Amino acid sequence: MKSFLKIDPDSHFSIHNLPYGVFKTTDNQNSRVGVAIGNKVLDLSVIENAGYFDSILSKTVFSCGSLNPFISLGKSVWSQIRLKIQSLLSDDSDLKDNLELINRCLIPMPLAVMCLPCKIGDYTDFYSSKEHATNVGTMFRGKDNALNPNWLHLPVAYHGRSSSIVVGGTQIKRPYGQILDAENKPKFSLSKLMDFELEMGFFIGKENTMGSPIEIENATDSIFGMVIVNDWSARDIQKWEYVPLGPFLGKNFATSISPWVVTMEALEPFKVEGPLQNPQPLNYLKRKEYNSYDIKLEVSLKIDGSNQPKVISRSNHKYLYWDVAQQLVHHSVNGCKMQIGDLLASGTISGPDRTSLGSMLEISWKGTRPIKFENGIQRKFLQDKDSVVMTGYCQGNGYRVGFGEVEGTII
């Protein structure tokens, strides 16, 4: 399948991808829905108004400032719209000869100001990487007690703060909170141990009725698509507060997500077998199919005083012990109602070696092995003006299905 647009093979946004986002432009401040294709944004509100979706849609959904109305139409409509967009952008499409419409609907990506893609009602952050949980547990409890007794039996999670979720590119203000001083006494201070967490997140695409759990056999039908997540962390605030109820102010000040939502249909060819689960999960969590994805992830750090960003981690979504279906099923097993646009994040994704760790806490091993840059500059944790850039993609045969970037700078 080829597009009439010239698309670099290394572009994240091939015709096999077509991720959705919400954007505005200088000359049109109305937020509307678009699809990324090569180095352009296809304005779906223009395509919709031109009547191309009339046989599929009974109402206007792409002029809204959120993907929620479109997502609410269901999986069958998602697939039909995706096929229609692929047809419009294909090499034999009539659209390529309609220069007037092309000029209105295809916008150079640098001119698009990206917004949050969904209206996010609730946000949950999991703790699904065995390597990450083992590393953190080893640091704070010792190797023999690295994993708590429940970890291998259920996907551990906590509820985050949806009001603090921001689109990539938003600056992140260093938070205040209580930390311990050199004498282990609490004081009110700016966080001194700022960190990132490399994660993936998914948006809920189908609601369940309160009291009715989502079952493992059809869990992925309730997922619309995925984004890259940077769940910023203030480690010193977190360390003092997290016993006994877990993360609070050390986490809820900011979470960054990539602006483009890659659909589960686009990710389908990249499903792979996840890690062996031992002991076997309880019946409601037992896998019925592969729901891990071969998504190559990379984190770069750009620091003040250094000429080039430095790649500090290369990881992969497939390392997660608990997959997306298991996360969703466990979340709803008690009858919890999931709503369209809710965001569930994986927790830090770390791999099996030092090159694939998903946080500064692990990379620097609690500050004992700093990251070294040119001119003798080092980093144990993030300093002001440091920028973290995360990216990820699946590699197809001559094309990519990617997520673009999510960047944030500490101020």
Query: What phi and psi, each to the nearest 5 degrees, are found at residue 143?
Result: -60, -35
Q: Which of 111, 29, 24, 21 is nearest to 66 (CA)?
A: 21
Q: How far apart, in whole angstroms, are the C-alpha atoms of residue 301 and residue 389?
A: 6
pLDDT one-digit tens code per residue, 80-137: 999 999 999 999 998 999 999 999 999 999 999 999 999 999 999 999 999 999 999 9
- Which amino acid is present at 141? R
Of the listed 12, 132, 317, 330, which one is catalytic? 132
For tokens 């101020």, the residue is 411
Cβ-contact 216, 325 below 8 angstroms: yes
Average pLDDT, the chain: 97
User: What token pair was written down for 95?
Assistant: 């659209």
**Residue 75 backbone dihedrals phi, psi, to 5 degrees:** -60, -40
Residue carrying the six token digits 């993936």? 200
pLDDT at 275: 97
Q: State yes or no: pLDDT of 76 exceeds 90.
A: yes
Strand intervals (E) in 60-213: 106-108, 113-115, 123-126, 157-159, 165-167, 176-180, 186-190, 194-195, 198-204
Contacts of 83 (CB under 8 A, 6+ apart): none
Q: Which residues pair with 108 in a beta bridge?
A: 40
Per-residue pLDDT tens over the stretch 211-250: 999 999 999 999 999 999 999 999 999 999 999 999 999 9
pTM over 0.95: yes
Residue 214 · residue 68 · CB < 8 Å: no
SS3 360: helix
Write the single-letter amino acid at 374.
E
Task: Specify the length of the chain in residues.
Answer: 411
What is the distance between the alpha carbons of residues 411 and 97, in angstroms, rounded to a whole number?
47
User: Among candidates 317, 346, 349, 316, which has minimal Cα distance to 331?
Assistant: 346
165: phi then psi, degrees, rounded to nearest 5 = -80, 130
- Give pLDDT tens digits for 243-277: 999 999 999 999 999 999 999 999 999 999 999 99
Tell me how far apart the alpha carbons of residues 228 and 168 are, in angstroms, rounded to a whole number: 9
Q: Determine the pLDDT at residue 376.
A: 87
Query: Cα(151)–Cα(263) distance, rounded to whole angstroms?
Result: 29
Q: Residue 107 forms beta bridges with which residues?
A: 41
Say if residue 179's pLDDT is above 90. yes
pLDDT given for residue 94 in this prediction: 86
Phi, psi of 87 (to 5 degrees): -65, -45
Give the whole-angstrom CA distance, residue 297 versus residue 228: 9
Task: Give me the domains of the chain, ranges plus CATH numbers.
Answer: 20-115 (2.30.30.230), 123-409 (3.90.850.10)
Name the nearest CA neighbour of 280 among 151, 153, 156, 157: 153
Quick check: is 132 catalytic? yes
Long-range contacts of 5-8 (CB under 8 A, 24+ apart): 5/37, 5/38, 5/40, 5/89, 5/106, 6/38, 7/37, 7/38, 8/38
